[in-house]
């Protein structure tokens, strides 16, 4: 047994932590350093879906129906997959229209209808308050169990003390205080409650940890893992049937489908889910991660439901303990007080988070969509003559919170005891499911009308009341038993559980079937046949085509004409308070660059702005009603609205096009810049090339001119000297010609316009011919030649003239650099795989290591350290390399200064196949 004081002080301590977190969250938000602006906190806050019902009730339901507890979690998982389409759209619409609650959303969609907002609020309050009380009941029961066990076997029903002795009552009050403190800091209900959301996310973590802790304790502490629990349970006949999808136990497939559908609607349209998912959403993008994070949370928290259920059933096999309390009872009877306390706090967090968020959502609706419109319409209150209603509004908001919580508390005290945890939850789900047609239809179908939505909602709600809460009044004993058996007023078709004679459904599926049939049916049919007002059509377009109209262009299609500044200001002052109104006006005037002091009337855009500011505080319906009292002109006709919307769309399309154009321009500019740089680079290269070429051309020309002039001016020269000079002129002219030819060759190769005559040639023969051609030069310098070539021909495919040019070039280089008399040139030809390797070796001056790579480049001559510059053009080796590479070969040099150089080049041999058809092999008899 755990002492009362310990439990109470732990609870209070926990609440204290919540206050601290919420305070910190708000403080950070004020400093613009949000702690909730990330998809993880967002997903955790969505887990407010898991209430005490999940925490305690899932195990209870699993104990009765086996895997029958799952549909409630399958639905949201399925729905999450659709979030990117549905939820994102709802969020975008809500941000754009400054929606404050689900009632406001529906009201705004159908022409800012106050009646619709009121009806939705009534349905939500009546539908949700029992659910709220369920949470208080869970807190109360868990408190009793943990404080009285193991004295007596507890059935899990609350024992009531007087109001002032009841801990639950005080907890409800503390929760009210928390909600008021962190939920009504701003009058603007569209402002996010960052601290509150942070606290909710924290609670989601706590309940998850607590549930996992007890799950692990049961599965691995009391038993030996999942396998052990299930094996043992399967030996007990009553438990064994829970394993199968047995119709009587887990429900029919139909029941499953209805439950999945129901919970799909619940995750979207429960006021608290709408609050955290839409109103408190910081960034639309967070939805993308929540799509898998939230289902993951559901999966983890449900992991241990079955083991705990089976464990509990086996542990309390006499049925003395209500399965809804297994989570808590198991640690208690095992005397694990700390774990029990943790579980208690886990359940407490599940309950409180739901209560807080639901209260905020309900009280906003209650205040904005029910109380405010009614109060403003009560003429005798003369509210419209009061100067400042903002404090009244705040008071109203706060009292709504207390009121909603008290309703929950008293429901729990006087009626709640007759229901188990799960049934109340499902009844609430059915109530909010009635919002589905109006919302989903409203965001995807422009044809949905106000009257259609109204009729559908009312019909669905009446059927819900008649088939779910109504018969439970019979169980309580308030209404006579015969209504169930004989029908209302004795009419057999009006039996609450067999409406219009429908049988074979469980109560939930039954209600859902009839209410949805009527709701959707009336919504669609009446919408098709009703005439819609201008503002209805405007809002319909705005909602359905939200992504078309939010392209960064502001527009204000609902009002034409003007409003007096003074009256607009006093209206805003009335609801928002003087400072806020002044600030809004000042900011707006600055943005639009207008001087309000000199302006008497403002235009439609300003009016639209004022309406939105007002809507954020009092809801769109009231805001609309208030604004219409000060605006002079009539609202626009539907056609005009349509044309304005079209225009807006065109402007958006146009601005998109412009953006695209400017992006294209930027791209083009960048490309131009790059191309220009490349051109400049090429230009510089060309410049260098031209400069080098002219230099090379000028050099022989210099000698030619100088000697020509000398010969011309000196007619009396000796014959031998004359001959010498003339020979120089001839040589230099030849050099000039060679240079020009080589330049042309190089240009042809580089520009790929060279005519290559590729044929099958014997490289050995070609080398021998080239050597023959240079033998005269070698003889002149008395150079010794060493030929080392194969006897067999080696065939390659190539241009014989060009390859001869290669050989001649290498040979003449070798001759040029070889010493006279002692010169030795060695020529090698060898086959290496599918290549032939040719080398030309000399014993000349050699080439320095650092120059060996350079010599194959254009105009890169290596200066001869002894004789000055060589008399080449500087193009020979460049051309040689180009020719060899054209033939898919490689060329390189190995050398050490003073010891000579060896030039190597390779060429691919012609294939064997070709060999067979070559003339040499054609001697074979042919077939």
Q: How far is the CB of 679 from other proteins (least distance, A)?
A: 20
- The yes or no reply on residue 247 touching other proteins (CB under 8 A) is no
- Give the relative orientation of helices 114-148 and 4-30 as an angle to the nearest 10 degrees: 140
> Would you say 518 or 817 has its CB closer to other proteins?
817
Locate all alpha helices (DSSP H) within 530-603, ordered by sequence. Answer: 534-544, 546-549, 565-576, 578-592
Tokens encoding 126: 């009546």
The least CB distance from residue 863 to other proteins, in Å, is 4
Residues 6 or more apart whose Cβ sits within 8 Å of residue 278: 87, 90, 91, 94, 99, 105
Nearer to other proteins, 55 or 707 (CB): 707
Using the rule CB under 8 A, which residue among 654, 863, 897, 914 binds other proteins? 863
Sketch the per residue contact string, 50 through 89, with other proteins: x for CB under 8 A, - otherwise: ----------------------------------------
Q: Where are the alpha helices (DSSP H) in 751-855?
A: 763-780, 800-817
Tokens of 615: 């809507």
Among 333, 4, 331, smallest CA distance to 149 is for: 333
- Token duo for residue 428: 């609430």
Stretch that binds other proteins, among 189-197, 276-284, 578-586, 710-718 (CB under 8 A): 710-718
Q: Candidates 259-267, 504-512, 705-713, 918-926: pick the segment binding other proteins (CB under 8 A).
A: 705-713
**Interacting span for other proteins (CB under 8 A) from 595-603, 687-695, 833-841, 842-850:** 687-695
Q: Which is nearer to other proteins, 632 or 849 (CB)?
A: 849
- Choose, by CB under 8 A, the member of 484, 502, 701, 789 that binds other proteins: 701
Binds other proteins by CB under 8 A, chosen from 27, 566, 592, 705:
705
Least distance (Å) between residue 868 CB and other proteins: 4
- Comparison of 705 and 831: residue with beta carbon closer to other proteins: 705
- Taking the least distance from each CB to other proteins, the nearer of 402 and 704 is 704
335 binds other proteins (CB under 8 A): no
CA dihedral 290, 293, 299, 303 (to 10 degrees): -140
Alpha-carbon distances, residue 74 vs 42, 209, 634, 810 (angstroms):
20, 21, 50, 83
Distances (CA, A) of 634 to 188, 230, 535, 637: 28, 71, 11, 9
The footprint of other proteins on residues 723-752 (CB under 8 A) is: 728, 731-732
Here the tokens at position 751 are 């520009």
Binding segment for other proteins (CB under 8 A), chosen from 48-56, 62-70, 541-549, 863-871, is 863-871
Q: Closest approach of Cβ 723 to other proteins, in Å?
A: 13
Q: Which of residues 155 and 691 has its CB atom nearest to other proteins in the complex?
A: 691
Residue number with CB closer to other proteins (244 or 702): 702
| Size of the chain in residues | 927
CA torsion, points 714, 715, 717, 721, in degrees to nearest 10? 90
Instruction: Work out how close the CB of 685 gets to other proteins at its nearest, in angstroms, rounded to a whole number.
Output: 15
CB of 697 to other proteins, least distance (A): 8
Nearer to other proteins, 608 or 692 (CB): 692
Q: First vs last Cα of the chain: how many Å apart?
A: 110
State the nearest-atom distance from the C-beta of 726 to other proteins, in Å.
12
Applying CB under 8 A, the site for other proteins has a residue count of 27
Among 153, 482, 695, 848, contact with other proteins (rule: CB under 8 A): 695
Q: Tell me whether the omega of the peptide bond preceding residue 73 falls within 30 degrees of 0, making it cis.
A: no
- Greatest CA separation found in the chain? 153
Tokens of 18: 């919540």
Q: Residue from 224, 680, 694, 917 that binds other proteins (CB under 8 A)?
A: 694
- Report if residue 709 touches other proteins, rule: CB under 8 A: yes
**Residue in this structure with the two tokens 């305070």, named with its chain if needed:** 23
Cα-only R_g, the chain: 47
358 CB neighbour count, 10 Å cutoff: 28
Whole-number Å distance between alpha carbons of 150 and 164: 26
Return the number of the residue (793 or 865) whose C-beta is nearest other proteins: 865
Interface contacts to other proteins, rule CB under 8 A: 691, 694-696, 698-699, 701-707, 709-710, 713-714, 728, 731-732, 863-865, 867-869, 871
């Amino acid at each position: 047994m755990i002492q009362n004081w310990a439990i109470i002080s732990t609870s209070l301590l926990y609440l204290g932590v919540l206050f601290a977190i919420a305070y910190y969250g708000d403080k950070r938000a004020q400093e613009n350093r949000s702690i909730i602006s990330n998809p993880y906190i967002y997903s955790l806050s969505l887990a407010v879906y898991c209430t005490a019902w999940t925490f305690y009730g899932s195990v209870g339901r699993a104990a009765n129906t086996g895997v029958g507890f799952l549909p409630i979690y399958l639905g949201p998982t399925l729905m999450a997959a659709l979030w990117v389409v549905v939820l994102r759209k709802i969020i975008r619409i809500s941000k754009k229209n400054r929606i404050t609650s689900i009632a406001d959303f529906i009201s705004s969609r159908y022409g800012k209808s106050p009646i619709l907002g009121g009806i939705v609020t009534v349905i939500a309050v009546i539908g949700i308050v029992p659910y709220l009380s369920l949470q208080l009941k869970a807190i109360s029961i868990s408190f009793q169990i943990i404080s009285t066990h193991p004295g007596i076997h507890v059935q899990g029903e609350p024992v009531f003390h007087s109001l002032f002795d009841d801990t639950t009552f005080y907890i409800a009050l503390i929760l009210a205080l928390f909600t008021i403190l962190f939920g009504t800091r701003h009058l603007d209900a569209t402002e996010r409650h960052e601290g509150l959301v942070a606290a909710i996310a924290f609670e989601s973590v706590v309940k998850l940890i607590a549930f996992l802790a007890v799950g692990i304790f049961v599965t691995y502490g009391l038993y030996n893992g999942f396998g052990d629990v299930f094996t043992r349970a399967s030996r007990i006949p009553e438990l064994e049937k829970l394993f199968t999808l047995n119709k009587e136990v887990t429900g029919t497939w139909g029941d499953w489908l209805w439950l999945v559908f129901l919970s799909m609607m619940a995750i979207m349209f429960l006021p608290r889910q709408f609050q955290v998912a839409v109103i408190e959403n910081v960034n639309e993008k967070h939805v993308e991660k929540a799509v898998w994070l939230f289902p993951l949370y559901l999966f983890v928290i449900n992991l241990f439901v079955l083991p705990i259920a089976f464990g509990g059933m086996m542990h309390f096999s006499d049925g003395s303990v209500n399965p809804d309390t297994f989570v808590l009872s198991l640690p208690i009877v095992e005397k694990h007080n700390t774990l029990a306390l943790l579980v208690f706090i886990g359940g407490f967090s599940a309950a409180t988070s739901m209560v807080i968020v639901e209260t905020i959502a309900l009280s906003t609706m209650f205040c904005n969509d029910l109380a405010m419109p009614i109060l403003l319409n009560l003429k005798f209150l003369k509210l419209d003559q009061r100067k400042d209603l903002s404090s009244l509004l705040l008071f109203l908001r706060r009292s709504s919170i207390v009121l909603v919580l008290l309703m929950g508390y008293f429901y729990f005290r006087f009626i709640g005891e007759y229901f188990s945890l799960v049934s109340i939850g499902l009844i609430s789900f059915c109530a909010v499911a009635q919002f589905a047609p109006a919302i989903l239809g409203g965001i995807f179908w422009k044809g949905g009308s106000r009257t259609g939505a109204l009729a559908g909602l009312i019909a669905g709600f009446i059927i819900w009341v008649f088939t779910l809460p109504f018969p439970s009044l019979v169980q309580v004993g308030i209404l006579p038993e015969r209504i169930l058996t004989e029908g209302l007023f004795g009419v057999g078709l009006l039996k609450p559980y067999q409406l219009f004679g429908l049988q074979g459904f469980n109560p939930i599926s039954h209600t859902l079937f009839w209410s949805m049939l009527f709701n959707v049916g009336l919504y669609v049919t009446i919408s098709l046949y009703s005439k819609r007002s201008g503002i209805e059509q405007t809002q319909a377009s705005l909602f359905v085509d939200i992504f078309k109209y939010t392209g960064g262009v502001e527009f204000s299609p609902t009002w034409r004409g003007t409003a007096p500044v003074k009256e607009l200001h006093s209206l805003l002052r009335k609801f928002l308070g003087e400072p806020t109104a002044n600030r809004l006006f000042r900011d707006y005037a600055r943005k639009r660059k207008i001087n309000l002091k000199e302006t008497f009337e403002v235009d439609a855009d300003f009016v639209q702005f004022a309406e939105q500011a007002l809507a954020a505080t009092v809801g769109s319906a009231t805001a609309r009603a208030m604004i219409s009292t000060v605006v002079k002109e009539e609202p626009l006709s539907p056609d005009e609205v349509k044309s304005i919307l079209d225009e807006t769309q065109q402007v958006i399309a146009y601005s998109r096009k412009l953006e695209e154009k400017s992006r294209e321009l930027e791209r083009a500019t960048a490309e131009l810049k790059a191309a220009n740089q490349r051109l400049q680079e090429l230009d510089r290269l060309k410049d260098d090339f031209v400069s080098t070429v002219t230099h090379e051309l000028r050099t022989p020309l210099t000698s030619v001119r100088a000697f020509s002039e000398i010969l011309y001016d000196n007619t009396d020269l000796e014959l031998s000297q004359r001959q010498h000079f003339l020979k120089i002129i001839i040589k230099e002219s030849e050099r000039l010609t060679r240079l020009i030819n080589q330049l042309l060759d190089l240009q042809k190769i580089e520009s790929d316009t060279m005519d290559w005559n590729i044929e099958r040639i014997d490289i050995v023969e070609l080398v021998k011919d080239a050597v023959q051609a240079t033998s005269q030069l070698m003889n002149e310098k008395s150079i010794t030649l060493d030929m080392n070539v194969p006897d067999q021909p080696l065939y390659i495919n190539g241009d014989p003239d060009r390859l001869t040019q290669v050989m001649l070039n290498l040979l003449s280089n070798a001759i040029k650099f070889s010493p006279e008399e002692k010169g030795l040139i060695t020529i090698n030809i060898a086959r290496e795989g599918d290549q032939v390797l040719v080398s030309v070796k000399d014993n000349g001056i050699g080439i320095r290591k650092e120059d060996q790579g350079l010599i194959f480049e254009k105009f890169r001559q290596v200066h001869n350290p002894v004789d000055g510059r060589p008399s080449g053009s500087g193009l020979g080796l460049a051309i040689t390399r180009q020719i060899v590479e054209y033939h898919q070969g490689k060329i390189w040099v190995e050398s050490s200064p003073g010891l000579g150089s060896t030039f190597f080049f390779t060429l691919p041999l012609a294939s064997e196949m070709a060999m067979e058809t070559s003339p040499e092999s054609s001697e074979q008899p042919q077939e």
